[in-house]
Amino acid sequence: MTSVVAAADRLNQGTAREAATETGANADPLYGTGFAYKMGWNRHDGARTIGFTKIVRRLPSLVALCARLSWRADRSALIIVVGCELISGAATAFGLFATSGVLRALLAEGPTPARVKAAIPAMILVGVFGSTVAILAAAGHAASGRLKPRVQRVAFAELLAKAVRVELLQFRQADYHDLLDAAQYGAGWAEFVIEELVDVVSATMSLIAAAGVLTVLHPALFPLLPLIALPRGWAAYRSIQRRNTSRLAWIPKTRRQRSLADLLAATGPAEEVRVHDAGRFLLGHYERLAADSEAEQARLARAEARTNLIGAALSGIATAATYALLGLLLMHGIVPLATAGTAVLAIRTGTSQLSVLISSVNNAFEYGLYVQDLDDACRTSATIAIPVGGTTPTSPQRIRAENLTFTYPNTDAPALDGVDLDIESGQVVALVGHNGSGKTTLAHVLTGLYLPDAGRVTWDGVPTTELDRDALFEHVAMHSQTFERWPFLLRANVAIGRHSAEATPTALASAAELAGATDMIAKLADGWDTLLAPEHLGGVDLSGGQWQKVGLARSFFRDAPILVLDEPTAALDPRAEVEVFERVRELAGGRTVLLISHRLYSVKSADRIFVMQDGRIRESGTHDQLMAAGGEYAELWHLQASQYAADEASQ
């Protein structure tokens, strides 16, 4: 967790910077000032001021990172890409020398047929080297086209595989999500870094070739190359810096704009978008942000045009000076005409490659910083992952909490405070209490999703901290309040409860029967093959209660010895609710059921009821014992019962 904290510290520094740019009157009417702080993108806003030398110094470590990623993704493609670029650079150099030979032969003394004949071997060489470069370019292009998506896939898959292993508590923390957010861009940009690096290799090779040719032709010609290229390189560098500065500064706004577009197109808000006319409201703000962004793009284009003009003017002056120098060298017979012709060719190749090199180094650096985030996120995820190994639990006969205390990060009051309880295998145990009293948290700690801060939870005497947590989860089925409505076929929606088991018609039917979903499924035109995603072709939606039955069927399909049902019937009609609770009793033969419900009638038949208040267990016992005690439970029971009684009396 230390590195998450370190990452948070770094983020806070970024936050301070952003706060200075977006406060008070500048706050967005929809997002305020907070939105910008959460964006992983802002992590590198310092990069905009990094100079060229620093870029060059940090580049090797970023190159090594991307090379490792590419090596893991597809080593043969990487070898082909790099190999092609290296050989292609050498072939370009030899091609230039061969061109010089052609020019020398053609411009020599003597009759034209003889000169052409003399130039033929060099011409063949020019053709061979030219074809080699073209073939290598094609092979390199094919290999890099194969490599790039693989790098992206490997990077994403590695990140996601690590993220799903992170402890739930840390996974829900803002600092981890900031890191994950930045890393996702890194995974997306890894392929661009590879592309830019390939350009760097290729431009470097061509540049070395051009410089080599010039030096061999005449040492005085060598300094001409940077003279012409540097103004253009400077212009490219300035434009890229400006674009990156703008991009980084504008990312929060760009993301807001995209998020508004997503909201307008999403199915969730579709009702309010229409009935409350929220659509027009969102569209107005979308256009406001789009107008700002367009103005920024126009500003960038103007600035870029100015810089390019200055670069081109300086480069033009240098070119004129170069040709003047070449003319002088020619006039004084210091270089022959053929050499001067080849020099022009080499200068043109070299200058264009130097511009490419500068721009690629800069881009590779900018994108590479996000690949660095990817690496950070993978390392951090590994340090806060659910540990592998430990004692393998069997189906527990007794789960015990002893003086259990648990506090969520960034909160002062404990969500669980000195909880003691015992649960025997095969019991139906109910947790009741007011909102926020700690019922869900207790269920999470008892089933190993969270580990206690103090005290302990034991499964047959072994603390959950010492158990193999993956093996422990194998014994748990959980229907949470926010159960997932997977946008898949009904069959997959239920079978995902235990994807390793075969979803036989009998197993699916029995889970549906327990959840009271049999009739509902029979009425669906495609039955188990109904796609529960109206946003996909052929998909349909279900009512809230029908979805709850699907969620319950999933938990029953999991067929685990411990079943946690957190408000399992909140959306069910009264008949369906009664049926589910009757089946829960049936299920409990051999299974332990942990039932969380606000409807006290539904927990009446539980073997043991725990009444929670402010993270503590206030009372426990059977329904009859708690009623006889006349405490909190009895009071809540009478309160709920009185509502029906009052209604009946008034009729």
Which residues of this chain interact with ligand ATP, rule CB under 6 A? Answer: 172, 408, 411, 415, 433, 435-441
Q: Cβ neighbours of residue 492 under 8 Å, at least 6 residues apart?
A: 486
CB of 568 to ligand ATP, least distance (A): 13
CB of 416 to ligand ATP, least distance (A): 8
CB of 594 to ligand ATP, least distance (A): 12
Give the CA count within 13 Å in the CB-facing half-sphere of 582. Answer: 8
- Yes or no: say if 449 and 168 are a contact pair by the CB < 8 Å rule: yes
State which H helix or E strand residue 230 sits in: helix 224-265
CB of 606 to ligand ATP, least distance (A): 16
CB of 417 to ligand ATP, least distance (A): 11
Judged by beta carbon, residue 415 or residue 533, the one nearer ligand ATP is 415
Judged by beta carbon, residue 81 or residue 612, the one nearer ligand ATP is 612
Interatomic CA distance for residues 359 and 202, integer angstroms = 13
Interatomic CA distance for residues 512 and 546, integer angstroms = 11
Residue 617 DSSP symbol: E
Fill in the amino acid letter for 24.
G
Q: Report H helices in 107-173.
A: 112-163, 168-171
Interatomic CA distance for residues 475 and 490, integer angstroms = 24
Tokens describing residue 123: 């011409």
Judged by beta carbon, residue 44 or residue 439, the one nearer ligand ATP is 439
CB of 415 to ligand ATP, least distance (A): 4
CB of 68 to ligand ATP, least distance (A): 35
Residue 400 φ/ψ, nearest 5 degrees? -130, 135
* 3 state DSSP class of 33: coil
Give the CA count within 13 Å in the CB-facing half-sphere of 18. Answer: 27
Q: Report H helices in 266-277.
A: 270-275
Judged by beta carbon, residue 267 or residue 403, the one nearer ligand ATP is 403
DSSP β-bridge partners for residue 616: 613
Q: How far is CA 558 from CA 481, 494, 552, 554, 564, in A?
A: 17, 9, 10, 6, 12
Interatomic CA distance for residues 90 and 129, integer angstroms = 9
CB of 478 to ligand ATP, least distance (A): 13
* 3 state DSSP class of 393: coil
Interatomic CA distance for residues 249 and 108, integer angstroms = 60
Judged by beta carbon, residue 440 or residue 548, the one nearer ligand ATP is 440
State which H helix or E strand residue 564 sits in: strand 562-566
Judged by beta carbon, residue 53 or residue 435, the one nearer ligand ATP is 435
CB of 604 to ligand ATP, least distance (A): 18
Interatomic CA distance for residues 477 and 364, integer angstroms = 47
Question: Strand 462-463 and strand 454-459: pairing?
Answer: antiparallel
- Yes or no: say if 85 and 202 are a contact pair by the CB < 8 Å rule: yes
CB of 406 to ligand ATP, least distance (A): 9
Fill in the amino acid letter for 172.
R
Interatomic CA distance for residues 96 and 100, integer angstroms = 6
Q: How far is CA 333 from CA 98, 99, 347, 579, in A?
A: 22, 20, 20, 105
Question: Strand 398-406 and strand 416-424: pairing?
Answer: antiparallel
CB of 626 to ligand ATP, least distance (A): 18
Handedness of CA 509, 513, 519, 524 (dihedral sign): negative
Judged by beta carbon, residue 176 or residue 370, the one nearer ligand ATP is 176
* 3 state DSSP class of 484: coil
Interatomic CA distance for residues 112 and 98, integer angstroms = 19
- Yes or no: say if 96 and 44 are a contact pair by the CB < 8 Å rule: no
Judged by beta carbon, residue 433 or residue 455, the one nearer ligand ATP is 433
CB of 387 to ligand ATP, least distance (A): 21
Interatomic CA distance for residues 585 and 578, integer angstroms = 11
Judged by beta carbon, residue 44 or residue 444, the one nearer ligand ATP is 444
Judged by beta carbon, residue 49 or residue 435, the one nearer ligand ATP is 435
Judged by beta carbon, residue 206 or residue 555, the one nearer ligand ATP is 555
The CA dihedral of 12, 18, 20, 21, to the nearest 10 degrees, is 180
Question: Strand 562-566 and strand 592-596: pairing?
Answer: parallel
CB of 570 to ligand ATP, least distance (A): 10
